[in-house]
């Protein structure tokens, strides 16, 4: 199986490397393993949904 690093995954998904670390530590990336202090993420892994925001969140602009 091919793996990518946290840095490569962050560029691929458009998030910070720290956010990818949170995903890995929380078990939200299927198949991610930690070897010698480095997270290895499967190349075909999908970006987990961000639980910090709601899908139907308004943009803050009032509808008039």
Contacts of 25-34 with C-beta under 8 Å, sequence gap 24+, read 31/1
Average pLDDT score over the chain: 86
Q: Could you tell me the pLDDT band of residue 51, with boundaries at 50, 70 and 90?
A: confident
Q: In what order do the strands lie in the sheet with 3-4?
A: 3-4, 38-42, 33-35
Q: Which residues pair with 3 in a beta bridge?
A: 42
Condensed to tens digits (0 to 9), the pLDDT of residues 15-44 reads: 999 999 999 999 999 999 999 999 999 999
Q: Is 12 exposed, middle or buried (0-12, 13-18, 19+ CB in 10 A)?
A: middle
The angle formed by the CA atoms of residues 15, 46 and 3, to the nearest 5 degrees, is: 90
């Amino acid at each position: 199986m091919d793996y990518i690093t946290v840095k490569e995954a962050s560029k691929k998904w458009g998030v910070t490397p720290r956010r990818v670390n949170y995903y890995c530590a929380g078990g939200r990336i299927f198949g991610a393993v930690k070897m010698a202090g480095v997270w290895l993420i499967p190349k075909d892994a999908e970006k987990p949904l961000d639980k910090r925001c709601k899908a139907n969140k308004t943009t803050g602009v009032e509808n008039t």
